[in-house]
């Protein structure tokens, strides 16, 4: 049986965590994605990547100069990852692809 004081302590912890997280959230791009997923940081190129599954887009933004780039495909992209050579690989409804 869960005791009421345990529940109260958990709720208090969740509220504190929520306040800390919400105070640290910062919008880095105003680009609208229908289903934005898979944020990926490339520390060598200093780029933040993400995908829009529905629109088949891979976007990136350089956080130093705010330059936004988007590649549009005819794929439903499910994920992206960095290869050892710094290039991207993506998983989609039609297979795996190197970019």
Q: What is the pLDDT of residues 68-90, one digit of tens each?
A: 999 999 999 999 999 999 999 99
Task: Evaluate whether residue 15 is within a structural domain.
Answer: no
- How many angstroms separate the CA atoms of 25 and 13, rounded? 19
Q: Which domain holds residue 43?
A: 29-98
In a domain, 14, yes or no: no
Looking at residue 11, its pLDDT comes to 65
Give residue 16's pLDDT. 64
Confirm if 79 and 91 have CB atoms less than 8 A apart: yes
Residue 25 pLDDT more than 90? Answer: no
Is 35 domain-assigned? yes
86 in a domain, yes or no? yes
Other CB atoms closer than 10 Å to residue 74's CB: what's the count?
A: 8
Domain count, the chain: 1
* Residue 41 binned pLDDT confidence (cut-offs 50, 70, 90): very high
- Note the pLDDT of residue 23: 67
- Residue 50 domain-assigned? yes
């Amino acid at each position: 049986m869960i005791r009421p004081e345990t529940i109260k302590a958990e709720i208090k912890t969740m509220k504190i965590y929520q306040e800390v997280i919400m105070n640290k959230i910062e919008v880095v791009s105003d680009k609208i994605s229908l289903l934005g997923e898979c944020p990926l940081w490339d520390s060598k190129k200093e780029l933040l990547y993400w995908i829009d599954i529905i629109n088949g887009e891979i976007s990136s933004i350089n956080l130093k100069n705010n330059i936004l780039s988007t590649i549009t495909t005819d794929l439903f992209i499910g994920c992206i990852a960095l290869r050892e050579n710094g290039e991207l690989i993506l998983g989609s409804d039609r297979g795996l692809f190197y970019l």
